[in-house]
Amino acid sequence: MKIAVIVFPGSNCDIDLYEALHTVCDADVEYVSYKQDNLDGFDAVMLPGGFSYGDYLRCGAIARFSPIMPAVIEFAKNGKPVFGTCNGFQILTEVGLLPGALKRNDSLKFVCKTVELTVKNTNTPFTSLYKKGEKINLPIAHADGSYYADEELLAELEENGQVVFRYSKENPNGSLNDIAGITNKQGNVLGMMPHPERAVEMLLGNEDGLRVFKSLLEEGKVKG
């Protein structure tokens, strides 16, 4: 499996994703500039956290117009795995690959801490190695992480099993239904505010995020 990590101006978690895949998982991974216009030869795409385009206008609102994004959209529509963490999640909602929106935290403050999550859906390319209902701990670092959708969309997400991760002991940002991560209807696009790439080695505090990437690589072996 060959994996692309998209690099936008202002990204600061692209290296985290790359090293989680390359150093820890020994995966075939490459940086791909936002200036590129195709993803030929890749089997999965990662959109990193950070502050693409300085978070000017609105988080992810400028990045969604980058030259690479039409290729990401086509990639996702072809059923291939696309993952976005933090700002990557925001970009995925802005470009319409995931429903809903991320708004300012209820506290109106930047929140940086480790939070407990409940794994709600293990039937995705990114969560097959977790157990449904399992509690895990992952770091968050965001100011605009409160997930919002209208009542009809929230009901649809719940009914379809699109909620993959839910905040457990506390809701750090005011996300409706305690939502921390969702997929599209097909299940091949996952967006989440927590950073699994920052929890892949005990040196970093815990390894609870490692199985996001291990699951993806196992998926690649099965399809390969």
- Predicted confidence (pLDDT) per residue in 14-24, tens digit: 999 999 999 99
Q: Say how many C-beta atoms besides its own lie within 10 A of residue 57's C-beta.
A: 9
Structure tokens given for 134: 């399992």
pLDDT tens-digit map of 65-120: 999 999 999 999 999 999 999 999 999 999 999 999 999 999 999 999 999 999 99
pLDDT tens-digit map of 161-201: 999 999 999 999 999 999 999 999 999 999 999 999 999 99
Asked whether the predicted pLDDT for residue 52 surpasses 80, the reply is: yes
| Averaged pLDDT for residues 48-71 | 96
* Cβ 142 vs Cβ 182: under 8 Å: no
Residues in CB range of 59: below 8 A, 6 or more apart: 51, 52, 87, 90, 94, 102, 144
Higher pLDDT: 163 or 221? It is 163
**Percent helix, strand and coil across the chain, each to the nearest 5:** 30, 25, 40
d(CA 101, CA 198): 23
Active site residues: 86, 195, 197
Q: Which ranges of 87-194 does DSSP label H, i.e. alpha helix?
A: 87-94, 151-160
**Which amino acid appears at position 211 of this protein?**
R
Could you give the percent of the chain with pLDDT greater than 70?
Answer: 99
Q: Give the N- to C-terminal CA distance of the chain in Å, as an integer.
A: 8
| 98-134: burial string, b at 16+ Cβ within 10 Å, e else | bbbbbbebeeeeebeebbebbbbbbebbbbebbeeee
| Averaged pLDDT for residues 140-164 | 98
**Which amino acid appears at position 82 of this protein?**
V
Q: Output the pLDDT for position 224.
A: 61
Q: Output the pLDDT for position 220.
A: 82
| Averaged pLDDT for residues 26-30 | 98
Q: Output the pLDDT for position 9.
A: 97
